Amino acid sequence: MPAPFTRELKTLPIVNGVTFDFEPFELPLWLSNAHLQTILPTVLVKHDPEYRRELVLDSYQMSDVAYDFIDTDEPKPEGSQCYKTPLVVLFHGMEGSSANHYARTLATYVKQRGWHFVVGHFRSCGGVPVREDVVYHAGDSQETHHTLQVLAEHYETIYAVGVSLGGNLLARYMADYGDDAVCEAAVVFSAPLDLASATTAMESLVGRRLYTPYLLNPMLSKVLSQELDLTELNKITASERIQEFDEAFTAPRLGYRSPYDYYRQASAMPHLYKISKPTLIITAKDDPFLGINATAGDVSPSVVLYEPAHGGHIGFVRWKDKRLDTNWVPETALNFFETVASA
C-alpha cells in the first residue's frame, strides 16, 4: 500500500485557549483523484435518516421554508424553556437539501453523538415552492440570522455547518453579525468564498461537462415554472453556464448590476477578517469547484484554516479500517464544536 498523502501541521490550532487536536485528512494515492473524491460519496452514503419536517415562514414572512430535524431522546422542555442538548444546523449547497449525501452523513453522525440536528433549507429547496419571487442567494445574512433565531427559541446551544454555497453564506453571516451571531461556532466546508473565481473554475472542461448540468438544470426547471416575460424567458432558456443564468435571472432579480456585481457583494472572502466567533474553514486544494481560497491574511484570529492537498468538493473520503469511510467531515466538525465547548 502506498504511503498516504499527509499535510503536516507545524502546530495544532488553538481555539479559545484550547488546542484543537483533530485528525488531518489522509488518503492513499489511489484515492487522491479530485473528481473521484467529489463523486464517490454520492454512491457510498446509504444512510437514510427519518427527518421530522416543520415549515416556517422566511424572514419576509412570505414563503414557507423546510426545517428537517433529527431529534434526541431529550424530553421536550416545558413552557419557554429550551433544549439543553446542543443543536447542529446545516446550511446546504446550491439546490441542495436534507437528501444530499453530506446532510445524511452529518445527520447520522450527530444523532450517534446524542445531539440534535436540523437542515435549514433555503427558499424553494427541499421540495417547498416559494410563494413570491424572492430567491435565495449566496450572501443572504438576514435570512441566515432569521433561521438561527427561529431555532434559538427552542435550543440553548447552536452550532452551524455550511457546505459549498451554504458555506459561503455561513461565513458571510459570521462576519456580518460578529459577536451577535446566534451560533456559538461554525464549520465551513468546500465553500466558494470568492464567487467570481469559483464560477470561472467551473468553466473547465470537466466542470462544464460534468458539474454544471448537475447544478444548473434543477435551477432552470424551478425558475421556468415562475411567471417570466418573453425576454427573461429567452435569456434563461439559453443559459448553459452558471454565470449566464446569474446574468439572466439571479442578478436582475436581486437588484445587482451584473453577475459579477452579485459575486463581489455576496462573497464572504472580503469580510472574513470581521469574524469574532470560532470558525473553522476547510478547503481541499484540489477542489474542482473553487478558485481563490482564503489565506491567513484574509481572516481574523478567530478563524482556523485547514487546506488538505486532496478531498475534492465535499468529498473527503478516506480509507479507514480497510474500507471507504465518509465520516471525516462530521467527525472533524463535531470535534471542533466540542473543543469550543470545552474552552
CA 340 to chain centre: 20
For the chain, the helix, strand and coil percentages under 3-state DSSP, each to the nearest 5: 40, 15, 45
Give φ, ψ of 5 to 5 degrees.
-75, 135
What the block records as the C-alpha cell of 76 is: 421536550
For 7-44, give one letter per residue: b (16+ CB within 10 A) or e.
eeeeeebebeeeebebeebbbeeebbebbebbbbbeee
Going from the C-alpha of 232 to that of each of 79, 222, 226, 241, the distances in angstroms are 50, 14, 11, 16
Task: Pull the grid cell for residue 148.
Answer: 438561527
Phi, psi of 45 (to 5 degrees): -75, 120
Any idea which residue has 447544478 for its cell?
215
Supply 339's cell numbers.
Answer: 473543543
User: Residue 2 carries which DSSP code?
Assistant: P
Q: What is the DSSP string of 7-39?
A: ---SS--EETTEE-------B-GGG--HHHHHH
Q: Pick the catalytic residue: 124, 164, 239, 302?
A: 164
251 backbone φψ class: left, alpha, beta (φ>0; ψ -120 to 50) = alpha
Out of 68, 176, 194, 287, the active site residue is 287
Map residue 69 onto helix, strand or coil: strand
Q: Per the structure block, which three cell numbers stand in for 95?
A: 439546490
229 is catalytic: no
Q: For this structure, is 313 an active site residue? A: yes
Q: In the annotation, is 137 catalytic?
A: no
Active-site positions read 164, 287, 313
